[in-house]
Structures are given as C-alpha cells and as structure tokens.
Amino acid sequence: MEAAGVARRWLWVGVLGLGLTLTGCRTTGAATKPDATANKQVVEFDPVMVTADLELDKLNDEELFAGGTSAFAANDFKQAARYFGRLADFHPNSPHRRQALYNAGLAHQRLKEWDDAFGRFSELAEPEKGQGDALDASFRVAETLYHLERYEEATKLLTTLAAREDLPAGRRIEAQVQQGICQVEAGRTDDAEATLRKALAAYDALPDKAEVEDYFPAQAHFFVGEIYRLHYEAVKLEASRGSDGLAQDLNYKAELLLSAQGHYLRSIRVGNGYWATAAGSQIGALYENLYEHMVNSPTPPELNGEEAEVYRQELRKKIRVLLTKSINIYERTLEAAERIGSQSAFVDRTRQSLEKVKSLLLADADAESDEVSVPMPASNAGAKHR
C-alpha cells in the first residue's frame, strides 16, 4: 500500500525458504561434475525496511513536529502526513507522538486517504473509556469506516460511544446521529429511523439546546427525511395495475413525499445553514422527481381514446402544480443560502435544478399552446391539396 502524501516507501525484501546452491569450483585443471548431494547452504535474509527518505532521516522529533505543523497550517497535507507519520513511526518515545498520530490521521483525512487515516486514528482510539484525543480519535475512526463503506463496524463503534453515560449530551447525540446515518447506508432503515428519532428526542429534552451543535439535530431530521425519500422511490407507478391501482400508488407516493418534506422542513427550521440548504434542495428534487414519474407513466390500458385524452389533461394540471411548487422551493432555498453565505454542492445543484424546472414549465406551456388548434373554415375543410 502506498500513501500518496508520504515520501517514505516500505519495501519487504527477503528470500524465504529459497535455496541458493553454492558449489565448489576449481581454478586449475579440468572441471569436475558436482555431486547433486554436495554441500548445499540455504541462505535466508530477514525482511529489510527501506525508508528512502534521507531528508527526514536527519530530523529529530521536535523538527519533524514543527515541520508537520507548518505544513498543515499551509494546507500542504501531503507534507504534513509525511512529517507527522515519520515522527509517529520512528520516535515512539517522543512526547509529541500522540499528537503526531492524530494530526497524521487528519492530514490523510483531508486527502481522502481513508485507509491511512483509519490506521493512524485506530492507534489512539478508545471508544469504551477514552477521553481527550482518544475520544476524538474514536469518532474519527467511525468516520473513516463510513467512507470505507464498512457501515456495520462504524455502527458498532458508534453504539458504544452513544451508550456512554460519562460523555456530555452533545457527544452522545452526535454519536447517535452518526450511528443512524450508518444504519441508513447499511440498508437498515427501520433501525436507522428509531436511532435518529431517539437522538432527536434526547435533543428536544435538553433544557439548554446550546449543549449541542445545531449541525447534529438538523442532520438527524435531514436523514429521517432521506429514509422517507427512499420509501418514496421504492413505489413504482405501474399502468398495468389499472386506473384505480395507479391512483392508489400515486396517492401513496404523494403521502411519502409529504412525509419526507415534513422532516426536511424540520431540518431547515433548526437553522443550520448547510443542512437547511441541503434539505431545501431535496424537497425541490422530490417534486421534480414526481413530475418525471407522472409525465412518463403510460396511460391505463382500459381507457379509450377520449378518456385517455381527459386523463392526460388532468395529469398535466397536476404536473404544472408540481413544477410550480418545485420552482418556489428552489428559489426560497437559494435566497436562504445567499442570506447566510452558504456555499456547497447542494447550492450548485439547486441552481441547476431551478433552471431545468423553469425550462420544463415553459415547455409544458408551449406544448399546451400547440395543442390548441384553430378550426379551418368549413369551405376549405374538405379541399384537397394540388
């Protein structure tokens, strides 16, 4: 394994169990055929660790720590990981080693080198009883496991943290929220909803909400919304079920959309800028998605030509309402993002979606206009082109 931000290379070199046959040789006279059973000697080499970093090899732990700190402050995370990693690996008795381990993990995390970050944080983490950097490292281990898609391991670790009565309420709620998110990613939506609601109940019961960063209750509401969005997406509109079955599916899908929207709105009300923007973006996307489903759903097969036309006209009215709602939500989301100065991938996506939905609404109006035909005069109605 090679860490992109570390110049040091590890190379295991060895000849293990490989026999090197040493035969006698004559410097004079005729050569004789060696006996196959003549003296043989098996030479084994121990693994050799090659550091290949002569520059850092000359530095002591104080110099390495200073170099790593300077590189991290300059956002040069490759160099920071290199310096802090060298200190942690080659100066086991340094008073800076624990901090170097943690900072090396942070540097790898910034570089999205999740395996290397996991290795550094794991050496410090103590989820059962740790405090200080051992506690912080435990949360970081869970985060790296999440990014490595090892959701069940992350859930187990976060469950341990959430159960610790010695931790402040804010940290327990943080652990519960992250636990619920990992359960969502693992496909355990029922467990996830129970975990997230438990975290929100603990937050609501706090006499002083300032004990918890607004990021976490907002995130919890957002992911309960995500759970209902997943349920919404699982409902398929099948024309083969007939008009009654299709109407039932459409109503159920709309109910799930409203449930998801309700939780997204609760996330917005918490007041955290990042999750408010994300939630607004998701609400708009839900209406846009329902529009796509409705406009692309086939007409129920039992309807005749005239009934199918009426069905399409009624569907178009509902679609126009959905597009208008989506535009309104996207615009309000962008206004809120501009007001608080929020910049994120959700903001960019919202701007793109807003333009797309406006184009769809305009195209729908144009299509309706084209369908309105002016009747030809009766005298020309039966005329043939020459």
Locate tokens 């940290």: which residue? 171
pLDDT band at 14 (very low <50, low <70, confident <90, very high): very low
Domain at 125-212, CATH class: mainly alpha
Domain at 1-12+47-116, CATH class: mainly alpha
| Mean of the per-residue pLDDT values of the chain | 80
Question: Residue 69, Cα to own-chain centre: how many angstroms?
Answer: 29
Residues of the chain with CATH 1.25.40: 125-212
Per-residue pLDDT for 108 more than 50? yes
pLDDT band at 201 (very low <50, low <70, confident <90, very high): very high
Mean local confidence (pLDDT), 192-214: 95
> Furthest-apart CA pair in the chain: how many Å?
125
Residues of the chain with CATH 1.20.58: 1-12+47-116
Predicted local confidence at residue 383, as pLDDT? 40
